[in-house]
Copies of this chain bind each other. A is one copy, B any other.
Amino acid sequence: MKTIRKIGAVLRQFTATQPEHSTTDLSRAIGNSTSGTHDLVDGLAGIGLLSKVERGRYRLGPLVATLYRALDDSSALTEAARPVMQKLAVDHGETLHLTMHDQGRLLLVEAIEGERPLRVSRDVIGPHLALYQAPPGLLHLAGFSHARLEEWLDAHSRPGGPIASRSRFRSDLTALAEDGFAVGPIMGDDDIVCLAAQVRDHTGRPVAALSMAAPASRHDRQPRAFRNITIEAAERISARLGYKKPS
């Protein structure tokens, strides 16, 4: 459906850093004429996916909030994860994220910032990161099928880029998949350690990643404790989703 693909392209122009666009902006972005784009965005404003804030200027509209509320309220994942994350935050005081993925980037489902004087910002994890740039993203990649991973690599690797060897990258991911766990920096920043553990649904399918981010100085004093805490919390969320771990 060509119209639907254009709708997707238009909607994805709206981001936290660029929340408002003119008709001319959007027509350039999607390669339509200004009058064709005008018809399209006017239609989207009519159903509430966009909102016309001034003459020729648009923002995301109330239907986005309505749909998100429906998504969030019905989500077994957020229902299962929220109490576990809240308890973990109280017990350990470190920054927590629950993520999925969308179009090769991290999708933040839930974030709780730590309470300690020295803490990692909740904003370190989000759609500004490509999947390979943080441990939760690597876990999502580890859950991809072979074909889907090839497609992702085709889109994201280049000579001289961060993924030097495809075969090495694939075998690293295989090891992560076996562990259901990844640990490392975020975007190469060695002052922060991020630990991510797989969350599975009732069928055993990986659906999300729970991660804890702490200053490296705190993590390095008790690395095994940090690892165990993260894995156990992810297992508790998975259990609440109906997953039974094989003996």
Closest-CB distance, A142 to chain B (whole angstroms): 18
Interface string of A42-72 (1 = CB under 8 A from B): 1110111100000000011011111111110
Report chain B residues within 8 Å CB of A15: 70, 74
Report chain B residues within 8 Å CB of A67: 11, 14, 60, 64, 68
With the chains together, A118 CA to B19 CA distance in Å?
40
Q: Which of A103-111, A150-158, A227-235 participates in binding chain B?
A: A103-111
Interface string of A16-60 (1 = CB under 8 A from B): 110100000000000000000001101110111100000000011
Report chain B residues within 8 Å CB of A70: 14-16, 19, 60
Does A100 make an interface contact (CB < 8 A)?
yes
A73-B16 contact given A4-B47, A102-B65, CB 8 Å threshold: yes
- A43/B102 in contact, CB under 8 A: no
Report chain B residues within 8 Å CB of A42: 1
Instruction: Report which of B1, B43, B59, B107 forms a contact with A43, defined as CB distance below 8 A.
Output: B1
Closest-CB distance, A216 to chain B (whole angstroms): 27
Does A8 make an interface contact (CB < 8 A)?
yes
Instruction: Report which of B7, B65, B101 forms a contact with A7, defined as CB distance below 8 A.
Output: B7
Interface string of A99-126 (1 = CB under 8 A from B): 0111100011100000000000000001
- A100/B62 in contact, CB under 8 A: yes
- A64/B62 in contact, CB under 8 A: no
Report chain B residues within 8 Å CB of A7: 4, 7, 47
Does A221 make an interface contact (CB < 8 A)?
no
With the chains together, A185 CA to B180 CA distance in Å?
50
- B16/A48 in contact, CB under 8 A: no
With the chains together, A3 CA to B6 CA distance in Å?
12
